[in-house]
Amino acid sequence: MAPNIPTLATPKNQSVNCWQCRHFATSWDPALPYMCRLMGFKSKMLPSIQIVQLDGRACQGFDLKPQKAVAKPQVSANRQ
């Protein structure tokens, strides 16, 4: 297993996780289920793993997905 190599796109305390990247998507194609919209390719394995195997460096395009706002439950004023 290749070590996580920090880059400008990935701070030392953050590892590349495609599932948390805004450019990651799943494909309808069962033979190539994962894809990277930024780099424009589909793969059998997670794109970040494919990039490390081909380039030897961690993904340079990783961009963390924005956090979704958590909906607060509404409390009724008439609640007893």
Number of domains, the chain: 1
Of the candidates 21, 53, 55, 20, the residue with the CA atom closest to the CA atom of residue 37:
21
3-state class of 17 per DSSP? coil
Within a domain: residue 10? no
Residues 1-40 have pLDDT tens digits of 444 444 444 444 457 899 999 999 999 999 999 999 999 9
How many angstroms separate the CA atoms of 11 and 23, rounded? 18
Within a domain: residue 44? yes
Within a domain: residue 7? no
Of the candidates 58, 59, 33, the residue with the CA atom closest to the CA atom of residue 44:
33
Residue 61 has pLDDT above 60, yes or no: yes
Residue 19: the pLDDT is 94
- Residue 48: which domain range? 18-55
For the full predicted model, state whether its pTM sits above 0.95: no
How many angstroms separate the CA atoms of 46 and 76, rounded? 45
